[in-house]
Amino acid sequence: MRLRRGWPPEDHERGEQGRADVSVGTEPGTPVSEDPVRKRIAMAMIELAAEHGLESTTIAMVCERAGVGRAAFDRNFTGKEDCFLKVHGEVALEFCQRTGTAYAGPRAWHDRIWAGAWAAMRFLQEDPMRARFFVVAVNGAGSRAQARRDRVLQGLADMIDAGRGELEEPESVSRSTAEMVAGAIYGTIMTKVRDGAIERDEEFLSELVYMAMMPYLGARAAEDELLVQPLH
Instruction: Work out the pLDDT band at 228, boundaries 50, 70, 90.
Output: low
Asked if the model's pLDDT at residue 131 lies above 50, the reply is: yes
d(CA 213, CA 160): 8
Question: Contact, 29 vs 64, CB < 8 A?
Answer: no
Q: Work out the burial of residue 21: count CB atoms within 10 Å of its CB; fewer than 13 is exposed, 13-18 middle, 19 or more buried.
A: middle
What pTM was computed for the model? Answer: 0.80
Alpha helical stretches, state H, the chain: 11-14, 36-52, 59-66, 70-76, 80-103, 109-126, 128-135, 143-161, 175-194, 205-217, 219-223
The one-character DSSP state at 201 is: T
Q: Average the pLDDT over each of 40-44, 129-133, 166-170 and give the range with the smallest value.
A: 166-170
The pLDDT tens digits for 12-41 are 333 333 333 344 333 444 445 578 999 999
Q: Write down the pLDDT at residue 157.
A: 96
Q: Write down the pLDDT at residue 208.
A: 92
**Percent with pLDDT over 90 in the chain:** 63
Q: Average the pLDDT over each of 71-80, 135-144, 215-224 and give the range with the smallest value.
A: 215-224
Asked if the model's pLDDT at residue 6 lies above 70, the reply is: no
Q: Write down the pLDDT at residue 227.
A: 63
Average pLDDT of the residues in 150-174 = 92
d(CA 196, CA 136): 11
- Better-predicted residue by pLDDT, 148 or 34: 148
The Cα-based distances of 61 to 23, 33, 46, 160, 228 in angstroms read 31, 21, 12, 40, 44
Q: Write down the pLDDT at residue 231.
A: 52
Average pLDDT, the chain: 84
> For the packed helices 109-126 and 205-217, what is the interaxial angle rounded to 10 degrees?
160
Give the torsion through C-alpha atoms of 191, 160, 14, 232, to 10 deg.
Answer: 40
Q: Write down the pLDDT at residue 64.
A: 97
The pLDDT tens digits for 87-112 are 999 999 999 999 999 999 768 999 99
The pLDDT tens digits for 179-226 are 999 999 999 999 999 999 988 888 888 899 999 999 998 877 767 776
- Across the strands, what pairs with 2? 228
The Cα-based distances of 67 to 45, 71, 169 in angstroms read 12, 12, 59
Question: Contact, 182 vs 157, CB < 8 A?
Answer: yes
Q: Average the pLDDT over each of 81-85, 137-141, 178-182 and give the range with the smallest value.
A: 137-141
The type of residue at 209 is V
